[in-house]
Structure 1
């Protein structure tokens, strides 16, 4: 073999990128919710494999009210986001609100701030100033989709006066007892 043929036989073209490639790695997180858009960036236990989550989905589909309880940083908010993702695929309209930013000093403040927090999820929602406004905003004939409201930090309601706590719970009970009148299919706290 000639020298040129040897060089061709043993030489390989190696592509060297002009810019270094950035390899994204997954990371661990110990606090804070993992939102659906961030799932590929974190290590986590897949909620779909959890039988409890399937039970929660079935309960929501049966118009039940649910309360998730657990220690801080135990995955409650991550579970809420997973449930919202699954229900969204089934055609439900999901609203998420945190009671952390809802004022509990007076009933008027409560409903206005709760309504304002809901407006972050849906800009077309009309102003809510009372429990009656809340019920009117979610009348069955106003919505095409079934609605599920997810309330994070629901335990903040325990810091409210009896008047506010009763008004909120009575309103939720009204929705559950007369589900055919409202587009709200379920409330998950």
Structure 2
């Protein structure tokens, strides 16, 4: 069972549907300088999609930084601020 993003190296050994075509509107927003968010249930492919978009942008010469806030404690408003 996969419980994390599928990397390029893993795509040949796991079932994977290439999201490249679905990324076109997302890539257009990013290229225009828009802020975007991906929201969805756990294990729905968000991180895998981010890694694919990152790869596509890097191939175009963009410099990408991937930041994950998954381990940040947000139990209260005080913790958030």
TM-score by length of structure 2 reads 0.83
The structure in which a higher percent of residues are strand is 1
TM-score by length of structure 1 reads 0.38
In structure 1, distance between residues paired with 2:6 and 2:40: 16
Report which of the two structures shows the higher radius of gyration computed on alpha carbons.
1
How many equivalent pairs are there?
81
Unaligned 5+ segments in structure 2 are none
In the alignment, is the contact (CA less than 8 A) between 1:34 and 1:78 conserved in 2? yes
Q: CA deviation at 1:91?
A: 0.4
**Alignment match, 1:57:** 27
In structure 2, distance between residues paired with 1:57 and 1:160: 33
Unaligned 5+ segments in structure 1 are 1-28, 105-155, 165-189
Equivalent residues in 2 for 1:1-189, closer than 5 Å:
29-50=1-22, 53-102=23-72, 159-161=76-78, 164=81
Structure of greater relative contact order (alpha carbons < 8 Å, 6+ residues apart): 2
RMSD: 2.2
The structure in which a higher percent of residues are helix is 1
